[in-house]
Chain A
């Protein structure tokens, strides 16, 4: 099954970690990502630019659109990256995600696989 993993960070948690340690954590994340990609578990994914770069476009029912600065939900946790993974089931997805080497929140969502969207 394919799942999207949304990786969110709590700004306060990261503010409490000094720069040298943050560097080490990024190093571990890179290694983690490469290893799982090579194993075919991660199909694709990216780190995202900080939430300050987000732009939200709201499209209403009659097709009008409003463009605003910022993400669509204001929360303490901000999405900072995503991965599309391919594993047998939710237990395998949880087992994969729980080894993420940083103090973050990870949301696992199954993809809708149909003829209309995606493969």
Chain B
């Protein structure tokens, strides 16, 4: 006998770790997304019924896989249309029985296929995010809804529509061909980073699901690294996420306000986690195929490894931004490079680098705020006030708003600045 509580803990853990694997395998067997989710659910319910009576199995994941497979076969038997499929699994099952039920190459492939299908560019971005979290991340629909601050029926509808499109438009269930792989892998990484940022940038502590998203995304990315061990960019993204997470606690002060990098208490950073993430990044970079995530991680690693703000190697950081700009020539990257340039060559050089970006970034609060900061450092206080004030109506995050308001207060009202 096993207590109900123990079963629930074991089951919660198995759901977390195994649900994606189960659904992935079942989609391939049944060829039907909804049926796969139902069967996975049935297998979990069956565990909840059996385990208290029989005791916890040695390998809960293997137990669930076997049960789900049996349920899937029952379901196929009931439907004559699936005879052909059934014949195919019969052979496969015999092959499967000779190798470990979990961690074999077969289910690794299934989960990878599922991830690429969830992140197919023919699906709307929010549907890609919801599908990935639901089917591979193991979050249920209400949890996805809470995490993204959208009504539950909206998420449910996105999922239904996406699954319908996968079926009716013939979105294939497979890892893309080598020729397509770089672009498609980029799409998967973008979805994972989007999920991460949604959680990492969330300032709303009242919704724990939002903060959890960052860890969910890191977990999914580590899964991708496991499934595609030869690709350096997933490793770069995972290093980037871990470098951020290792310093997350120091980002907020005791009053809940945002603490800027220069003012953060570095003793609150997780030094061991930073070293691990840096090692992961070095391993990725050694492959000699740097991409946007490896380079972003390299920049964050420079900050994370610096003893204090003054010890930051700004020349190195500007150099990495130059390489990043070659891969990703966007005004946002150019702005970040300009901010780093201020530390190396002074605010006037940075301001000169920012001006050409104004036409494209004027509507972004961080551009106005960065420009205001350069003007302040140059002593052009009236202009600094003007630029910072212009950023205020553009900011939506309350923690960022508070930083801007403090800066404005420090700049004064403008009338007490002495004779004009």
Spell out A's residues near B (CB within 8 Å). Answer: 1, 3, 88-95, 108, 110
Partner of A95, one of B122, B169, B180: B180
Evaluate contact between A89 and B170: CB separation under 8 angstroms.
yes
- 16 examples of A-B residue contacts, CB within 8 angstroms: A3-B170, A88-B170, A88-B172, A89-B170, A90-B120, A90-B169, A90-B172, A91-B172, A91-B174, A91-B177, A91-B180, A95-B180, A108-B169, A110-B168, A110-B169, A110-B170
Q: Given contacts A94-B122, A95-B180, is CB(A89)–CB(B168) below 8 Å?
A: no
- Among A1, A3, A90, A92, the most chain B Cβ lie within 10 Å of the Cβ of A90
Cβ of A89 to closest chain B Cβ, rounded Å: 4
List, in ascending order, chain B residues with CB within 8 A of A91's CB: 171-172, 174, 176-177, 180
Spell out B's residues near A (CB within 8 Å). Answer: 120, 122, 168-172, 174, 176-177, 180
Cβ of A57 to closest chain B Cβ, rounded Å: 28
CA distance A36 to B73 in the complex (A): 40
List, in ascending order, chain A residues with CB within 8 A of B176's CB: 91
Cβ of A4 to closest chain B Cβ, rounded Å: 12
3 A-B pairs with the lowest CB-CB distances in the bound complex, closest first: A89-B172, A1-B170, A89-B170
List, in ascending order, chain A residues with CB within 8 A of B120's CB: 90
List, in ascending order, chain A residues with CB within 8 A of B170's CB: 1, 3, 88-90, 93, 110
The chain A residue with its CB closest to the CB of B122 is: A90
The chain A residue with its CB closest to the CB of B168 is: A110
List, in ascending order, chain B residues with CB within 8 A of A108's CB: 169
The chain B residue with its CB closest to the CB of A94 is: B122
CA distance A92 to B122 in the complex (A): 13
List, in ascending order, chain A residues with CB within 8 A of B168's CB: 110
- The B interface is mostly helix, strand or loop, or mixed, namely loop
Cβ of B28 to closest chain A Cβ, rounded Å: 14
List, in ascending order, chain B residues with CB within 8 A of A88's CB: 170, 172
CA distance A90 to B165 in the complex (A): 11
Cβ of B175 to closest chain A Cβ, rounded Å: 11
CA distance A46 to B120 in the complex (A): 30
List, in ascending order, chain A residues with CB within 8 A of B172's CB: 88-92
- Among A89, A91, A93, A108, the most chain B Cβ lie within 10 Å of the Cβ of A91
Cβ of A117 to closest chain B Cβ, rounded Å: 15
Evaluate contact between A90 and B171: CB separation under 8 angstroms.
yes
CA distance A88 to B120 in the complex (A): 16
CA distance A90 to B117 in the complex (A): 11
Cβ of B22 to closest chain A Cβ, rounded Å: 24
The chain B residue with its CB closest to the CB of A3 is: B170
List, in ascending order, chain B residues with CB within 8 A of A110's CB: 168-170
- Among B120, B122, B170, B171, the most chain A Cβ lie within 10 Å of the Cβ of B170
CA distance A94 to B169 in the complex (A): 11
The chain B residue with its CB closest to the CB of A112 is: B168
List, in ascending order, chain B residues with CB within 8 A of A94's CB: 122
CA distance A92 to B180 in the complex (A): 11
Can you name 16 extra interface pairs (CB under 8 A) apart from A88-B172, A89-B170? A1-B170, A3-B170, A88-B170, A89-B171, A89-B172, A90-B120, A90-B122, A90-B172, A91-B171, A91-B174, A91-B177, A91-B180, A92-B172, A108-B169, A110-B168, A110-B169
CA distance A93 to B121 in the complex (A): 13
The chain A residue with its CB closest to the CB of B121 is: A94
The chain B residue with its CB closest to the CB of A92 is: B172
CA distance A98 to B276 in the complex (A): 42
List, in ascending order, chain B residues with CB within 8 A of A92's CB: 172
CA distance A50 to B110 in the complex (A): 48
Cβ of A25 to closest chain B Cβ, rounded Å: 25
The chain B residue with its CB closest to the CB of A2 is: B170
The chain B residue with its CB closest to the CB of A91 is: B172
- Among B120, B122, B169, B174, the most chain A Cβ lie within 10 Å of the Cβ of B169
List, in ascending order, chain B residues with CB within 8 A of A95's CB: 180
Cβ of B123 to closest chain A Cβ, rounded Å: 10
Cβ of B266 to closest chain A Cβ, rounded Å: 47
List, in ascending order, chain B residues with CB within 8 A of A90's CB: 120, 122, 169-172
CA distance A95 to B170 in the complex (A): 14
CA distance A92 to B169 in the complex (A): 12
CA distance A108 to B171 in the complex (A): 12
CA distance A90 to B172 in the complex (A): 7
Cβ of A95 to closest chain B Cβ, rounded Å: 7
Cβ of A70 to closest chain B Cβ, rounded Å: 30
CA distance A90 to B171 in the complex (A): 5
The chain B residue with its CB closest to the CB of A110 is: B169
List, in ascending order, chain B residues with CB within 8 A of A1's CB: 170
Cβ of A62 to closest chain B Cβ, rounded Å: 32
List, in ascending order, chain A residues with CB within 8 A of B177's CB: 91
